[in-house]
Amino acid sequence: MKNYLFAPGPTPIPTETLLAMASPIDYHRASESVELIGNVTAKLKYVFQTNNDVMILTSSGTGAMEAIITNLLSSDDRVTVIRSGKFGERWGEICAAYGIQLDPINIEWGRSVDPQQVEDQLNRYPETKAVLATLCETSTGALHDIKTLGDIIQDSQTLLVVDAVSALCADDLQMDNWSVDAVVSCSHKGLMTPPGLGLVSLSDQAWKATKSSDLPKFYFDLRQARDAGNRGSTPYTPAITFIKALDQALDHIHQEKIENVLERHAYLAQATRGAVKAMGLKLFAQDPANTLTSICLPNRVDGQALVEMIRNRHGVTYAGGQAKLKGKIIRIAHLGWVCEHDMIVAISTLERGLSEVGYNLTLGSGLAAAQEVFRNSQP
């Protein structure tokens, strides 16, 4: 059975990238590795749309999120956390682990923050050290308006910190143009490389904050990571295999150009959303991201069982709902090394899977809607 992966990470990996990992291991301090690490750092700046350094950590995205907290904040800081799903909540959990005072903005899951709420909050607490936001809330599929948040925070002393773990390369994030102070991402979503690398970039203002930060850190010390990175090195032995793979994957993105990569994700998402609606289903996110599409299931359909059945019978992996959304939604990522042919497979399989559990739909209705989008959008 052919297998297809539409989870919001890990995402499918280009064959050349897989093969790069099967070559003999490199000594991470050899001159070739120094050059490799330097090259990958430079190529990452392009996808982060920044002139700031990008640090490569050996960890998952969550480790990189923790690095942001422990390097930028101090024990007496207060922060605003936008909580609109599992990953916004994670920002809060990390802060809580370090005793940081937390002012949450709680948003109904599936909704995105109204930037006015953030402005009001900052007027109330002008001493706020940072606003912790999420570009795409992966648990709900909602996109947040980071550009407007950047406009609001731009002239203040408050730092804008963005979790772009899932959305980098899928939803636009212009770190420098939008005045974002810290971006965190990882290797295994839009960057088409296995999980294992956390990626972080900081603005000048964020680097200033690292100087006064009094929270304890060692492995995730970003100043050490930056200084080593500038020498083509890392403070500790890195996952050099994945850095080599990432180099390969970044070449794909450079060849396609970031604006085209974003455009591709946009029309794949549009086609998926169109298909879902044509099948009589509702989108879960009010303002959906181009990273993944979250779909509300009819009450009588058990989402967990549906995902499991489709995986076993058809070899197609979607993600189910997380936490309180377990069983209630399914999530289909169109993320990374994915094209319209893949989404045709994703949509056709969803049609069949739903009909197999007794949902009444016209087979082909979703596909037809997707075809219309592809006819109009493909370059």
Q: Min. distance of Cβ 16 from a copy of itself in angstroms? A: 10
**Binding flag, residue 47, a copy of itself (CB under 8 A):** no
The two structure tokens encoding residue 128: 């706020």
Q: Min. distance of Cβ 190 from a copy of itself in angstroms? A: 14
* Segment interacting with a copy of itself (CB under 8 A) among 62-70, 112-120, 276-284, 324-332: 62-70
Cα-based torsion angle of the residue sequence 294, 299, 304, 310 in order, rounded to the nearest 10 degrees = -80
Residue given tokens 């037809």 in the structure block: 368
Strand intervals (E) in 141-209: 142-143, 159-163, 182-186, 197-202
Rounded to whole angstroms, the Cα distance separating 249 from 252 reads 5
Cβ distance 314 to 352 under 8 Å? yes
**Binding flag, residue 240, a copy of itself (CB under 8 A):** yes
**Binding flag, residue 136, a copy of itself (CB under 8 A):** no
Residue given tokens 């893949």 in the structure block: 342
The two structure tokens encoding residue 230: 């500038």
Question: Hey, which residues between 154 and 213 contact a copy of itself (CB under 8 A)?
Answer: 186, 188, 194-196
Cα-based torsion angle of the residue sequence 209, 61, 191, 167 in order, rounded to the nearest 10 degrees = -80
Per-residue contact string for residues 78-107; x = within reach of a copy of itself by CB under 8 A: ---------------xx--xxx--------
Q: In the complex with a copy of itself, which residue's Cβ is closer, 8 or 150?
A: 8
Q: In the complex with a copy of itself, which residue's Cβ is closer, 229 or 274?
A: 229
**Binding flag, residue 315, a copy of itself (CB under 8 A):** no
Cβ distance 182 to 129 under 8 Å? no
Q: Which member of 101, 147, 174, 219 binds a copy of itself (CB under 8 A)?
A: 219
Rounded to whole angstroms, the Cα distance separating 56 from 59 reads 9
Q: Which member of 1, 123, 216, 341 binds a copy of itself (CB under 8 A)?
A: 216
**In the complex, which residues of this chain contact a copy of itself (CB under 8 A)?**
3, 5, 7, 9-13, 18-19, 21-30, 58-63, 66, 93-94, 97-99, 186, 188, 194-196, 215-220, 235-242, 311, 317
